Amino acid sequence: MRRHAERATASAVSPAYTADADHTGNASPFPDTPTWGNLGIWGDRLLDALETCNADKRAIELLEQRRLQRLNNKDKTMLKTDSLREAMTVHCRWCQANPEKFTIFVESGNIETTGETPSFVYRYQMVMFVMDYAGELDDLTLPLLAWLSENQPQLLLNPERNQDIKFSAVINDDDSADLLFTLPLRERVRITRNSQGTPQAEHLPEPKPRLPSSEGDWSHVFQDVTWVKADGYRHSPRVDETLSHPRQPESAGHQ
C-alpha cells in the first residue's frame, strides 16, 4: 500500500459529477466515458490521490475522457485551463519533458449572472494534477504564481485570498510524489450576436490590476531566453537569476 505523507483536504477535490448531474434521471450523463478498468496507471494514480478526500470515481472517469479528447483536439475547455497548461509547459522544463504526466481540469464551480444581460461569470475550482514528480516544488510553484499574476491577480494581491491557493501531496517512494494544486478562479463570458443574429460566447481575459509599476515585479521573473533541442523547435525559457539576486533600482541621476 502506498504511503501517504499528507492527507489531501476534503475541500481539495469533491465528487462533482454524480449520476444525476444532467437532471434528466439518466444513470450516466456521460455515455461515452470509458470503463474504470481501462484507465490504466493514470486513472489508478489519480484515483489514489483523490480517494484520500473521498472523491467518487465518476470524476476520475470524466477527467480521463476529457484528457483523451484534448489530446485528439476534440474538446474545447475553459480558456484558463488551456492557458495554464501552456504556461507550465513553457516555463517548467519538467512539464515540457513530461506532458503526459500532468493534467489541468475544472473540478466544480458555479455560475454568476445579474439576469439583466445574457453575459455571465464562471467561478470554479481548477485542479492541476502532477504524477510521479521528482523535482523541486519551487519549479512548479513559481510558474504557477507567475501565471496567476496575469490571469487571477486577486489571489496574489489580496493576502486573505492567498490561502485559497492549495496543494496536497501523496508520496510514492523516496524519490517521487503525486501533487494536487487547487485554484479558485473566475472566467467572464460575454454574450453577443453575430451578423446572423446567432448568440455567441466570448471568454474574456482578466483586466490588468492597477499596480504602481507598469511592468510589475513579475516582469523580471522569466527571461526571454530559449533553448533549442535537436528537433529545431524553441523550448522553455529558464528562470531568471534575478530571483536570487534581486534587480537593483536604477539611480535617479549620475554624479
User: Are 8 and 53 spatial neighbours (Cβ–Cβ below 8 Å)?
Assistant: yes
DSSP 28-81: -S-TTPPPGGGSHHHHHHHHHHHHTTT--HHHHHHHHHHHHHHHTT-----HHH
For residue 83 the three cell numbers come to 492557458
Strand partners, 127: 105, 182
For residue 204 the three cell numbers come to 474574456
Q: Pick the last residue of a domain from 209, 232, 248.
A: 209
Same domain, 136 and 181: yes
Instruction: Identify the pLDDT of residue 201.
Output: 86
Q: Does the residue 181 lie in any domain?
A: yes
Same domain, 97 and 124: yes
Q: Does the residue 13 lie in any domain?
A: no
Q: Does the residue 226 lie in any domain?
A: no
Report the number of distinct structural domains present in the chain.
Answer: 2
Same domain, 71 and 111: no
Reported in sequence order, the residue ranges of the chain that DSSP labels E, i.e. its strands, are: 102-112, 120-133, 166-171, 177-193, 199-204, 227-228, 234-235
Instruction: Identify the pLDDT of residue 44.
Output: 55
Q: Does the residue 171 lie in any domain?
A: yes
Same domain, 56 and 100: no
pLDDT digits (tens, 9 = 90+) for 216-253: 555 545 544 444 445 554 444 443 433 334 444 444 44
Instruction: Identify the pLDDT of residue 181.
Output: 92
Q: What is the pTM of this model?
A: 0.54
Same domain, 58 and 70: yes
Instruction: Identify the pLDDT of residue 182.
Output: 92
pLDDT digits (tens, 9 = 90+) for 157-185: 888 888 888 888 888 888 888 999 999 99
Instruction: Identify the pLDDT of residue 115.
Output: 83
Helix (H) and strand (E) counts in the chain: 7, 7
Q: pLDDT per position in the chain (255 positions), as tens?
A: 343 333 333 333 333 333 333 333 333 333 333 333 334 445 555 555 555 544 455 555 655 655 555 554 434 567 888 889 999 998 999 998 888 888 898 888 888 888 888 898 889 999 999 999 988 889 999 999 999 988 888 888 888 888 888 888 888 888 888 999 999 998 888 888 888 888 888 888 887 766 555 455 555 455 444 444 455 544 444 434 333 344 444 444 444
Instruction: Identify the pLDDT of residue 150.
Output: 85
Sign of the four-CA dihedral 197, 203, 207, 208: negative
Same domain, 65 and 128: no
Same domain, 95 and 151: yes
Instruction: Identify the pLDDT of residue 19.
Output: 34
The CA-based angle 68-76-234, given to 5 degrees, is 75
User: Are 156 and 148 spatial neighbours (Cβ–Cβ below 8 Å)?
Assistant: yes
Domain that holds residue 46: 42-76
Same domain, 66 and 88: no
Same domain, 188 and 165: yes
Q: Does the residue 153 lie in any domain?
A: yes
Angle at which helices 57-71 and 40-51 cross, to 10°: 140
Q: Pick the last residue of a domain from 33, 55, 76.
A: 76
Instruction: Identify the pLDDT of residue 160.
Output: 80
User: Are 124 and 168 spatial neighbours (Cβ–Cβ below 8 Å)?
Assistant: no
Q: Does the residue 148 lie in any domain?
A: yes
**φ, ψ at 73 (rounded to 5°):** 55, 35
Q: Does the residue 8 lie in any domain?
A: no
CA dist 192 and 199 (Å) reads: 6
Same domain, 62 and 165: no
Q: Pick the last residue of a domain from 52, 76, 100.
A: 76
